[in-house]
Structure 1
Amino acid sequence: MSIKISAQYVKELRNKTGAGMMDCKKALQDSEGDINIAIESLRKKGLASADKKSARVAAEGIIESYIHAGSRIGVLVELNCETDFVARRLEFQELAKNIAMQIAACQIVEYVSIEDIPQNVIISETNIESGREDLINKQQEIKDKIVTGRVEKRLKELTLMNQAFIKNQDISIEELIKQHITLMGENIKIRRFKRFLLGEGLEKKIDDFQADVAKILNK
């Protein structure tokens, strides 16, 4: 069982490292409250100091493309950094390639982060979950908690930053970005992306189209 960590202790670690609140809390729990071990853990994961750079303007960068084998799925992604110098670094370009590949593999992903999801989509998902038959006889308070949890899960499924990195399932895309922020000393942002599926929008049986996509990704 993980030990209880006070909010003040989490804040202290955040001030020392610049890492996210949840990352700090987990690091403290894993280290059983030893702040020095927690700092070392965050640094090894590349999370320390990343958040302090996240507010800086990132207007440089590159537009990367990825075409899956068979040329039936393609992706364009814009990855921003602060300077052209970093944009030319091999590590930054490799990051862009990995993100483009991730987008191709995650067919359900539509947005970069939860903050990018339109309010009407959130309302729609909330209405859908609220109308589930298994909630009909639940007390309102319990129902609200279940709906909130299910909607949060759904929104994470729709966002790129919350996906597990396909080359390392132990970290998310958000954590991958933070690692590279720490590595390169600049803010890095995924600004936008576009996925292209051959034949999308044309008249075709839905089942056949989904099967085609699955076959392409499994090759």
Structure 2
Amino acid sequence: MTAITAKLVSELRERSGAGMMDCKKALVENNGDIDAAIEHLRKTGLAKADKKSDRVTAEGRVATAQANGKAILVEVNSETDFAAKNSEFVAFADSVAEAGLKAAAKDIDALKAAAHPIAANVEEAAKAKIATIGENIQVRRMAQVENDGPIATYSHGGKIGVIVALKGGSEELAKGIAMHVAAMNPPYVKAEDVPADFVAKEKEIALSQMTEKDKAKPAEILEKIIAGKINKIVSEVTLVGQPYVLDTNVTVGDALKKEGADVVAVVRLAVGEGIEKVQEDYLAEVQKAMQV
């Protein structure tokens, strides 16, 4: 029997993508034969999939779907960007978005419970895909918007998804603004959405940056100078105040005004937001575990 070393377990883990303890067990059961161990792991199918559910999924895809005044964004995560670009994964993410739209899912639990073509529901379908794609897959987030007026979705390479809904205007304008949101990611829509403490802090900073000569000016002039600086900053952090990416000679607000439109809703999801990616040292991890 071949000795079950940390290096051998690490090699099997890298080749198979299976969990560390699964690899060690497979090697023990197959007398250290790595090829036989790989075959054994492949035969475990969904059992292997379930045991991989704690692996970090910071890559993936944001899929979109839209019909009849409704739009949805769905973030489906994988462990690697390689898997996220796999045509089977892309098709699965799209199918989850379509399932959520059809079920009129309002939250992630409703989305996971939605009927899916290859399984009883989306959650079970994701488990099935873990077995075939070979990586942990998580249906992580969703957002949906309904609107009587123009509504549009935009996907930037599958990494960023946006929904924009308008009152008035056109679907073409909504699509253009969705592209703008994907590119610029404004934290607020309008000036009134900007928190008061943000404005207060910016005023404090603006005042501290002024020269003694400026500070010596009459209060009303000083206030106008500070107000000008704050207005510029607020424009930079609001959707309507930013130069429109499709025509930088006007702001998004100008483009809306031209069509007599107003923004009803804006949603933006980017893959992996808030997930801490960990660089794994497989060999060190295996060596540590085998000492237990």
Cα gap change, 1:204 to 1:122, in 2 (>3 Å): farther
Provide TM-score, normalisation by structure 1. 0.51
Task: Tell me the residue number matched to 1:74.
Answer: 161
Task: Tell me the residue number matched to 1:94.
Answer: 172
**165-174 or 147-156: which moved more?**
165-174
Counterpart AA for 1:80: K
RMSD over equivalenced CA pairs, Å: 2.5
Higher relative contact order (CA 8 A, sep 6+): 1
* SS state at 1:156 partner: helix
1:157 Cα offset (Å): 0.5
Q: Runs of 5+ in structure 1 lacking a partner?
A: 1-58, 82-90, 182-187, 206-219
Q: What pairs with 1:94-133 in structure 2 (closer than 5 Å)?
A: 94-107=172-185, 109-132=186-209
C-alpha contact (below 8 Å) 1:135/1:143 kept by paired residues: no
Is residue 193 of structure 1 aligned with residue 266 of structure 2?
yes
**Whole-angstrom distance in 1 between the partners of 2:223 and 2:188:** 25
Task: Tell me the residue number matched to 2:242.
Answer: 163
Question: C-alpha deviations, 1:97-121, integer Å up to 9, x for none?
Answer: 00100111113x1222112222222
Q: Percent identity?
A: 33
1:146 Cα offset (Å): 3.2
**Whole-angstrom distance in 2 between the partners of 1:173 and 1:125:** 23
Counterpart AA for 2:182: A
Bigger fraction of residues in strand: 2
C-alpha contact (below 8 Å) 1:68/1:104 kept by paired residues: yes
Task: Tell me the residue number matched to 1:50.
Answer: none
Q: Runs of 5+ in structure 2 lacking a partner?
A: 1-146, 279-292
The count of aligned residue pairs is 129
Task: Tell me the residue number matched to 1:24.
Answer: none
Bigger fraction of residues in helix: 1
Question: C-alpha deviations, 1:17-71, integer Å up to 9, x for none?
Answer: xxxxxxxxxxxxxxxxxxxxxxxxxxxxxxxxxxxxxxxxxx73144221102x1
* SS state at 1:61 partner: coil
Is residue 60 of structure 1 aligned with residue 148 of structure 2?
yes
C-alpha contact (below 8 Å) 1:112/1:191 kept by paired residues: no
Structure 1 runs of 4+ with >3 Å offset:
134-138, 140-146
C-alpha contact (below 8 Å) 1:111/1:159 kept by paired residues: yes
- The structure with the larger Rg is 2
